[in-house]
Amino acid sequence: MSEFVIRGGEVVDASGRRTADVLVRDGVVAEVGAGLEAADVLDAAGAIVTPGFVDLHTHLREPGDEDAETIETGSRAAALGGYTAVVAMPNTRPPLDDPTVVRAVLAIGTEALCEVVSSGCITRGRAGEALAPMGELHALGVRVFTDDGSCVMSAGLMRRALEYSRGLPGAVVAQHAEDDSMCAGGSMHEGAVSSRLGIPGRPGEAEAIIVARDIRLAALTGARVHFLHLSTAASVDLVRAAKRDGVPVTCEVAPHHFTLTDEACATFDPAFKVHPPLRGAADVEAVRAGLADGTIDAIATDHAPHTPETKERPFEEAPPGMLGLETAAALALTELVEPGILTLEQALAALSWNPARIAGIDDRHGRTVAPGAPANLCVLDPAATWTVDPMALASRAHNTPYAGRTLRGRVRHTVLRGERVVLDGRATR
């Protein structure tokens, strides 16, 4: 029997906030209340005890690009960021379009420092031509279907995927909304800054056009659509209106889209290259407002490790993507909660219980901290400040755009199924 008490913290979950100790026994929450005792104590004084975070959007790079990240190193970064579950994106080599590959990822994931939830491709090879065996993947537990990295460009194929998904309980089709034909050759947001720098652009309309189309397809089929990493004011407006009309859509935003603008690209530092690209200030304001009014359901990292050899190429040749797992919660606290844009509860909802529900893992993640709940928990010190050092991150790669930035909010402990995988800010294995 393993038993410990998380003592002296403030418990914050979907039911509200209260000062309470949390007794964990044999992998589940046994008791929540004042003055709980156990031989083993986890200090939570001055900290928040919350359901562990859930990332809807993690690129773990295994199989195929283990020199950038592995399931093990990515899961360690996740645990240090307070995550107890991540949805692994399918653009591995080979891609997650086949039961054999998904089974292999899930098997390696059983040893990880967070739960590794496999997504599955919408189309074979993410090529956008024929549907992947969604039923077979669903039978292995896949609920999030996506060709992320690529947009499903054919409206007809997207419609068929949605119709098919309706027969798969809990399934959701997640779109990387960027029209290829408008973005080909583009490396940053199309606008005044891209003109000034002479870098080919990716227009915001390329995102909104696909979002508008897929809202129509969700309404037509009655199937759930989730929009990955929304980045523009127009997209947020479209989702807001669709939700008002009762269309079954959800969406996420990545931390870089509520913290950084396209001006960062003026450094020509490829750390700031990402798809969809960093946008203008008005778009940043709009996604912040979308989080505040609940239009945007989740904060998802789009954690995208790249080796220095590839990421340090010239801006236009470097691959898109940036690290996110170890900085997301601190960015939410620093950029959204501290200035009063979100309440702490709203930020935690976007990091934990909302994404848990979207991914269909809310039976074990994002749950109210109460007796019987699986002990997937994060203890977060909201006042602790720290400075991002790319070389000190647990990720195998170092491509963070926040090097040298001082953030507020640090994960103190992470508990996965009752195991202390992070203790006093350090991974235990």
The catalytic residue positions are 302
How far from the centroid of its chain's Cα atoms is residue 366's Cα? Answer: 14
Smallest gap, in angstroms, from Cβ of residue 9 to Zn ion?
A: 35
Q: Cβ atoms within 10 A of the Cβ of 360, count?
A: 17
Note whether 111 and 80 are within 8 A (CB): no
Stretch that binds Zn ion, among 144-152, 159-167, 189-197, 306-314 (CB under 5 A): 144-152
Q: Does 65 bind Zn ion (CB under 5 A)?
A: no
Smallest gap, in angstroms, from Cβ of residue 12 to Zn ion?
A: 30
Smallest gap, in angstroms, from Cβ of residue 74 to Zn ion?
A: 16
Stretch that binds Zn ion, among 147-155, 234-242, 372-380, 414-422 (CB under 5 A): 147-155
Q: Which is nearer to Zn ion, 38 or 228 (CB)?
A: 228
Q: Which is nearer to Zn ion, 137 or 230 (CB)?
A: 230
Q: Does 420 bind Zn ion (CB under 5 A)?
A: no
What tokens appear for 309 in the block? 């050899």
Give the closest residue to 65 by CA, choosing from 39, 91, 28. 91
Burial class (CB in 10 A: 0-12, 13-18, 19+), 39: exposed
Q: What letter would DSSP give residue 84?
A: E
Q: How far apart are CA 116 and CA 84, in angstroms?
A: 9
Per DSSP, the chain holds a count of helices (H) and strands (E) of 14, 21
Q: Does 176 bind Zn ion (CB under 5 A)?
A: yes
Smallest gap, in angstroms, from Cβ of residue 252 to Zn ion?
A: 10
Q: Which is nearer to Zn ion, 148 or 362 (CB)?
A: 148
Q: What is the dihedral of CA 8, 13, 17, 22, to 10 degrees?
A: -30
Q: What is the dihedral of CA 39, 42, 45, 50, to 10 degrees?
A: -130
Q: Which is nearer to Zn ion, 78 or 373 (CB)?
A: 78
Q: Does 7 bind Zn ion (CB under 5 A)?
A: no
Give the closest residue to 332 by CA, choosing from 372, 296, 304. 296
Stretch that binds Zn ion, among 105-113, 157-165, 172-180, 191-199 (CB under 5 A): 172-180
Residue count, binding to Zn ion (CB under 5 A): 2
Q: Does 148 bind Zn ion (CB under 5 A)?
A: yes
User: Sheet containing 83-88: which strands, arranged edge to edge?
Assistant: 53-58, 83-88, 115-118
Smallest gap, in angstroms, from Cβ of residue 416 to Zn ion?
A: 26
Stretch that binds Zn ion, among 61-69, 176-184, 236-244, 262-270 (CB under 5 A): 176-184
Smallest gap, in angstroms, from Cβ of residue 251 to Zn ion?
A: 13
Q: Which is nearer to Zn ion, 62 or 147 (CB)?
A: 147
Q: Which residue is nearest to Zn ion (CB)?
A: 176
Q: Cβ atoms within 10 A of the Cβ of 236, count?
A: 26
What tokens appear for 258 in the block? 């509520």
Q: Which is nearer to Zn ion, 224 or 413 (CB)?
A: 224
Q: How far apart are CA 83 and CA 55, in angstroms?
A: 7
Q: How far apart are CA 402 and CA 326, in angstroms?
A: 11
Q: Where are the beta strands (DSSP E) in 270-405?
A: 298-299, 377-387
Stretch that binds Zn ion, among 112-120, 143-151, 247-255, 335-343 (CB under 5 A): 143-151
Q: Which is nearer to Zn ion, 62 or 207 (CB)?
A: 207
* Residues near Zn ion, by CB under 5 A: 148, 176
